[in-house]
């Protein structure tokens, strides 16, 4: 079994560029985490483990054949594989693909057919802050058959989805859009 330091970080595996978060933003996030931890201890309403997931940028690739989750995205739109009752689906990203559970039941997960998704548009949620930090919020519009679907989440989660789907770099998508009449 490889040691933690021998396994690559997720940010080093993806082929989309991932920018390093500036020091002042990292310090701010650690202060926020410390404040959240203090509030959890004072309120004693939940355990410190309920404070959310660790950042994907620091996560190392799991040892095969383990396929644990590598983050999640929101999926919006209408497609045959999605629930008609919920406007959004939570997409579980793993080493072996992207999965949704439209029924919400145990053992009813569905692997998304990523090879059939075509990346159409990539936009930051906050246009003036279109940085490619691991946790920066972005939206990816994809074409699936005749349906338009939107994935929303952190840049690194979208980069992992692109890695799984074989999508081109964002600059290549913009160039392809500009060349179309």
DSSP labels, the chain:
---GGGSPBHHHHSSS--PPPPHHHHHHHHHHHHHHHHHHHHH-SS-GGGG-PPPGGGPBPPPTT---EEEEEEEEE--TTS-SS-SEEEEEEETTEEEE-TT-STT--EE--GGGEEEEEEEESSGGG----TT-EEEEEEEETTEEEEEEEEHHHHHHHHHHHTPPPHHHHHHHHHH--
pLDDT at 179: 67
CA 34 distance to own-chain centroid: 24
Average pLDDT for runs of 10 along the chain of length 181 = 64 79 67 69 54 50 66 86 80 88 77 91 81 85 90 91 88 64 61
Q: Which two tokens stand for residue 78?
A: 């209408």
pLDDT at 143: 92
Ranges of each domain in the chain: 1-181
pLDDT at 117: 92
pLDDT at 68: 65
pLDDT at 142: 93
CB 25 within 8 A of CB 133: yes
CA 125 distance to own-chain centroid: 14
pTM of the model as a whole = 0.70
């Amino acid at each position: 079994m490889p040691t933690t330091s021998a396994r690559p970080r997720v940010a080093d595996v993806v082929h989309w560029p991932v920018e390093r978060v500036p020091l002042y933003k990292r310090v701010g996030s650690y202060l926020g985490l410390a404040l959240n931890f203090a509030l959890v201890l004072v309120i004693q309403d939940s355990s410190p483990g309920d404070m959310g997931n660790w950042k994907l940028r620091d996560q190392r690739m799991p040892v095969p054949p383990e396929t644990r989750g590598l983050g999640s995205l929101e999926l919006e739109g209408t497609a045959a594989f999605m629930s008609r009752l919920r406007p959004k689906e939570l997409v579980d990203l793993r080493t072996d693909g992207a999965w949704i559970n439209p029924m919400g039941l145990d053992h009813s997960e569905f692997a998304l057919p990523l090879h059939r998704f075509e990346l159409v548009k990539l936009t930051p949620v906050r246009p003036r802050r279109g940085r490619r930090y691991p946790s920066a919020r972005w939206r990816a519009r994809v074409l699936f058959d005749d349906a338009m679907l939107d994935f929303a989440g952190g840049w690194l989660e979208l980069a992992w989805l692109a890695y799984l789907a074989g999508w081109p770099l964002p600059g290549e998508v913009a160039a392809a859009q500009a060349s179309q009449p």
